[in-house]
Chain A
Amino acid sequence: MNNDTIANILLTTILPGNFVLAMFLGMCPFLGVSQKLSTAVPMGIATAFVILVASVSAYFLNMLLVHFHLEFLSVITFITVIACAVQLVEMFVKKTFPELFRQLGIYLPLITTNCAVLGVALFQTARNYNFAQSLAYSIGGGIGFTLALILMAGLRERMQLSNVPTLVQGAAISVILGGLLSLSFMGFSGIGGGE
């Protein structure tokens, strides 16, 4: 069941199975932190990094859990580890790159409650991915998330210069843009899967 090749996993998670546009993971930052490219890019990269960290720790944590027959603890342990990892990253950034922290400060804690991060951990476990596959899955997921975020930010920067009707301004127009992006990404369906 888990004989997907690394390349397939990568391609699928970036395009047709894009976390944001096809799986609805990480919608809140996708809608919330995409007004400007200048914040979307660091946010995307930071999230991608945390996804990677989460995936690796979840992989080993899961090995432990399986060993002790404690699979039912997966959610609670994954999320706790993720929350702590995010907090550590936050402190680290604050200490070493205060400038970056000032830009990202408010968003960093948000990553904890980013479904994509937990989603990677849970899905890779559910799909019985081995280490390399998990890695590909999380890297692809991170890239896909960043890609969607950046595309969205570009579109929203453009929207700021057009005369969007007042009723549609704000959240509605972002959601519509998300929908149209997701509609466009449907074109990729089948890539990486099938034959």
Chain B
Amino acid sequence: MRLPFQKRVATFEHGIHPEYHKETGNLPIRRFPFAPKLYVPLSQHIGKPAIAIVTVGQEVLRGEVIARADGMFSLPIHAPATGVVEAISPIPCDTGEMEMAIVIRVYEADGQEVRVRNPHNLDGLNGVELAIVMQEIGVAGKGGAVFPTHAKLIPPNGCVIDTLIVNGSECEPFLTCDHRIMVERAQQIMAGIGYAMRVCGAPRAIIGVEDNKLDAVAALEAALPADGTVTIKVVETKYPQGAAETLTHALLGREVPVGKRSSSIGVVMNNVMTLAYVGRLLPLGEGMTERVVTVAGPAVARPGNYIVPLGTPLRFLLDYVGAKSSASEVILGGPMMGNAIASLDIPVTKGVCGVLAFGKREVAVPHTYPCIHCGECVNACPKKLNPTQMGLLAAKREYDLMADKFFLSECFECGCCSYVCPSHIPLVQQFRVAKSFLKDRKNSA
């Protein structure tokens, strides 16, 4: 609760204030070595998987396209290292399913410079043309949804985009990669914003940064373009400030209508790191072969932000930061929304912004009590849903009722409700179960 005389920082209603553990935010980004073998899944984005265009035994150069995009809502995959294709076979992925991947044995002796680039002359291209060029560099959203960025930027028919929101909130605890990018690569972010504005046609861009990253704000301010089309707005440090709906609400006071996309209210949102990569890679015509990943957590001996080649298996990554033997639970992403994984053979992909390792003690299962109707979850839900009722319904498998009467599909799984529940009821998990059931049933019908 904010007292009346306190200065108001732009924010949204409800939400939570978890412990942030953002110690790695002060460490500069460092480079990560190449694992002996890289496992590059063909599907690292939302949309159709890429189609492999290499064969087993073929030698590939770093930056070379090894799988091509399958249509507009797909992205090409570039070789993350120079080496030889050892296999194209299923490997485990974070959902627990198996996915096709190209396995590259990395040439140890190679310097691993990017060997293949395909630069275009970007001047004079209109928005759609620029988007097509953008597809070639294979950038997917780094904010979590891994939607192909070029496709996201093109305004849907009949929509006029008036604002590009650049999401620099990074509200998840532990994660600091966006923070470091803003501090270290402000210039490239600005370049990326420029390209993105050209594609989506927005006359202005607003960068939203939480007030616990004021050094990032300073760095960005120094790099702002002179024409004033880009502004920075500080928002309250609160989870989930970075979610599209809440940030849009905090910055513009607009609400995305239920069941619609944010483009319907003239807004398109990109993550800062997404735009940093666009700004860096697009002029060079270089493919995405690596990304900055926060590696942290109580079980990690050398936490930090690392530039990790895509396809690096977690086993190798955790070994290197001194975590493998002490880790009990490994999470891809932040602690609030990230998924725990069942296998260390899973590789780092374009959507992995953080790898967190927790020790035995931190993953103890608390006793679950029945819901005591305390309403904490209702007061925490940033979407103002009714998690109490949905949780009770889910326990009785009343999934249809949840969807019909309680806006199940609007839940963006931020986890605030589970976080505050004194009964330790796994609310979000139940909502995900409900959604997955309804989706499966719809697909099979």
**A interface list, Cβ under 8 A from B:** 160-163
CA distance A161 to B370 in the complex (A): 11
Instruction: Choose among A160, A161, A163 the residue with the greatest number of B CB atoms under 10 Å from its CB.
Output: A161
Does B393 touch A at the CB level, under 8 Å? yes
From B370, B389, B393, give the contact of A163 (CB < 8 A): B370
Q: Across the interface, name the chain A residue whose C-beta is closest to B391.
A: A161
> Per DSSP, are chain B's interface residues mostly helix, strand or loop, or mixed?
helix
- Extra A-B contacts (7), CB below 8 Å, given A162-B370, A163-B370: A160-B396, A161-B389, A161-B392, A161-B393, A161-B395, A161-B396, A162-B392
Q: Which residues of B contact A (CB under 8 A)?
A: 370, 389, 392-393, 395-396
Q: Which residues of B contact A160 (CB under 8 A)?
A: 396
> In chain B, what residue has the closest Cβ to A158?
B392
CB contacts (< 8 Å) of A161 on chain B: these are 389, 392-393, 395-396
Bound form: Cα–Cα A161–B391 in Å: 10
The answer for the CA separation of A163 and B396 in the assembled complex, in Å, is 10
Task: List 9 contacting pairs A-B, 8 Å CB cutoff, sorted by A.
Answer: A160-B396, A161-B389, A161-B392, A161-B393, A161-B395, A161-B396, A162-B370, A162-B392, A163-B370
What's the nearest-Cβ distance from chain B to residue A189, in Å?
30
**Bound-state Cα–Cα, A162 to B370, Å:** 9
Q: How far is the CA of A162 from the CA of B393 in the complex (A)?
A: 10
A160: nearest chain-B partner, CB-CB: B396
Chain B residues closer than 8 Å to A162, beta-carbon distance? 370, 392
Chain A residues with Cβ below 8 Å from B392 are: 161-162
The 3 nearest A-B residue pairs measured at CB:
A161-B392, A161-B396, A161-B393
List the A residue with the shortest CB-CB distance to B393.
A161
CB distance from B181 to the nearest CB of A (A): 46
Chain A residues in 8 Å Cβ range of B396: 160-161
Q: How far is the CA of A163 from the CA of B370 in the complex (A)?
A: 9
Chain A residues with CB below 8 A from B389, complex form: 161
List of A residues within 8 angstroms of B370 by Cβ: 162-163
Expressed in whole angstroms, the Cα–Cα distance for A111 and B55 within the complex equals 78
Q: How far is the CB of B256 from chain A (nearest CB, A)?
A: 30
Determine how close the nearest CB of chain B comes to the CB of A184; give it in whole angstroms: 19
